[in-house]
Amino acid sequence: MGEMSLDTLSSQYFDVLKELGNIGAGNATTALAQMIGTKVDMSVPQVRLLDFKDVGDMMGGAEQIMAGIYLAVEGDIDGSIMFLLNKKAARHLVDKLMGTGAKPEEENFDEVEMSALKEVGNIITGSYLNSLSMMTNLKMIPSIPYVAIDMAAAILSVPAIQFGMMGDKILLIETQFFDELKLSGYFILLPDMDGYSKILSSLGMGDIKL
Amino acid sequence: MSQIIKVGMADLNICVSPDGITTLGLGSCVGIAVRDPVTKIGGLAHIMLPDSTEIKNNSNIPKFADTGIEELIKRIVAKGAARSRLVAKIAGGAQMFAFQSNNQTMRVGDRNVQATLKKLKEMSIPVLAQDTGDSYGRTVIFYPENGNFVIRAVGKPEKII
């Protein structure tokens, strides 16, 4: 790998990454819709190149309380994938899955509900990664899911630190999803720098130097 | 009118009483608040990683505990604080996800705290208080006026150290 320079990443590469996000999140959204039995829509994916100081604010404010489900990714691609919901949406999702009826939005999650959240994260990030894996022919093996319910910036510090070991910016593929009612959240795929160049070259984007 | 200065991730800044300085949602990162109680000049650094010498691409000074603290002290002293009177308080360094692995990168919160304490000790700056570790995020606000370091976390009462 040559000198890392995210700033020189061309708009062509951005388009390819966006399309990857589109396919991955499309599959994940379908899996989510099947699980909860409602229609779930998604936005056009955003490929973002952020300074660390702006990471906290990317999802409606650094102190917004979110449920974050994190899976480390290994195999041909190293990195991580996250599935984030604001706390209200997570409450809504869990209530729907468990069939317990709507609980108050501010109610905390018990142990069973936390593991339900993990499982949701597991299934839908799994379908995201699977579709990418099939398209690129690269192995991507997720770890077990981890969940945290906390301020957005605190949760995002985890992938940010991983990027911090390699450079001064964070590159991510973000897709927002929502249903007609209360559900809204994000998928964020964060391959490491080697991962980006492997993905791009597996798709015939030539021998790129990121 | 006093104002609150905002510091982002891998960032640092200084402030003079009556202003305060804050950083939102510290996770595994560590917030280092330093002040001179006489001139009431202070500052806050939000570091992400323990050691700049472990990493090749290390030009971003506020990103690391070692270089970030040095720079913070330099700027506070340049503003007119006395180097010998400086005192510190620190917060953050949580482990946000309950990783079972022994992988060093997964335990970065703890390593950030250790590196911060080591650097402050090396520079002979006493650490008056710390609220570190555990598994939750923290928002901090520091007031050089009285040295209060206010810590807010989700679902917990506000505390001042």
ipTM given for this complex: 0.89
Q: Does A55 contact chain B (CB < 8 Å)? A: yes
Beta bridge partners of A73: A79, A142
Share of chain B above pLDDT 90, in %: 84
Of B93, B62, B94, nearest to B75 by C-alpha is B62
Say which residue, B102 or A167, is predicted with more confidence: A167
Name the pTM for this structure.
0.87
Q: Does B136 contact chain A (CB < 8 Å)? A: yes
pLDDT for the residue B100? 65
Q: How many CA atoms lie within 13 Å of A65's alpha carbon, on the beta-carbon side? A: 15
Q: Does A60 contact chain B (CB < 8 Å)? A: no
Chain A closest-CA separation from residue B84 CA (Å): 31
Q: What value does the mean pLDDT take over residues B6-28?
A: 94
Measured between alpha carbons, how far is A101 from A87 in angstroms, rounded to an integer?
Answer: 17
Q: A162 contacts in B (CB within 8 Å)?
A: 105
Residue of B nearest to A166 (CA): B57
At A208, the amino acid letter reads I
Residues A158, B49: C-beta atoms closer than 8 Å:
no
pLDDT for the residue B101? 60
Residues of chain A scoring pLDDT < 50: 1-4, 210
pLDDT for the residue A135? 86
Residues B55, A165: C-beta atoms closer than 8 Å:
yes
Tens digits of residue pLDDT in A11-70? 777 888 888 888 888 888 888 888 888 888 888 888 888 888 888 777 778 898 999 999
Chain B closest-CA separation from residue A64 CA (Å): 9
Q: What value does the mean pLDDT take over residues B48-67?
A: 88
Residues B99, A146: C-beta atoms closer than 8 Å:
yes
Q: B25 contacts in A (CB within 8 Å)?
A: 56, 62-63, 150-154, 157
Residues B24, A151: C-beta atoms closer than 8 Å:
yes
Measured between alpha carbons, how far is A31 from A22 in angstroms, rounded to an integer?
Answer: 14
Q: Hey, of B4, B9, B102, which one would you mutate to test binding to chain A, going by the most A CBs within 10 A of its CB?
A: B9
Q: Is B100 helix (H, G, I), strand (E, B) or coil?
A: coil
Q: B28 contacts in A (CB within 8 Å)?
A: 157-158, 161
Say which residue, A13 or B76, is predicted with more confidence: B76
Q: What value does the mean pLDDT take over residues B140-152?
A: 96
Q: Does A6 contact chain B (CB < 8 Å)? A: no
- Residue A61: count other Cβ atoms within 10 Å of its Cβ: 14
Q: What is the DSSP string of chain A?
A: -----GGG--HHHHHHHHHHHHHHHHHHHHHHHHHHTS--EEPPPEEEEEEHHHHGGGGT-TT-EEEEEEEEEEESS-EEEEEEEEHHHHHHHHHHHHT--PPPTTPPP-HHHHHHHHHHHHHHHHHHHHHHHHHHT--EEE---EEEEEEHHHHHHHHHHHHHTT-SEEEEEEEEEE-SSS-EEEEEEEE-HHHHHHHHHHTT--S---
User: What is the rounded average pLDDT for all residues in chain B?
Assistant: 92
Q: Hey, of A51, A109, A149, A150, which one would you mutate to test binding to chain B, going by the most B CBs within 10 A of its CB?
A: A150
pLDDT for the residue A187? 80
When pLDDT is cut at 50, 70 and 90, the band that residue B67 belongs to is: very high
Measured between alpha carbons, how far is A90 from B49 in angstroms, rounded to an integer?
Answer: 31
Tell me whether strands B20-26 and B4-6 are parallel, antiparallel or unpaired.
parallel
Q: Which residues of B are catalytic?
A: 29
Q: Which position has the token pair 């994000």?
A: A186
Measured between alpha carbons, how far is A85 from A69 in angstroms, rounded to an integer?
Answer: 9
Q: Does B29 contact chain A (CB < 8 Å)? A: yes
Residues B96, A55: C-beta atoms closer than 8 Å:
no
Residues A153, B10: C-beta atoms closer than 8 Å:
no
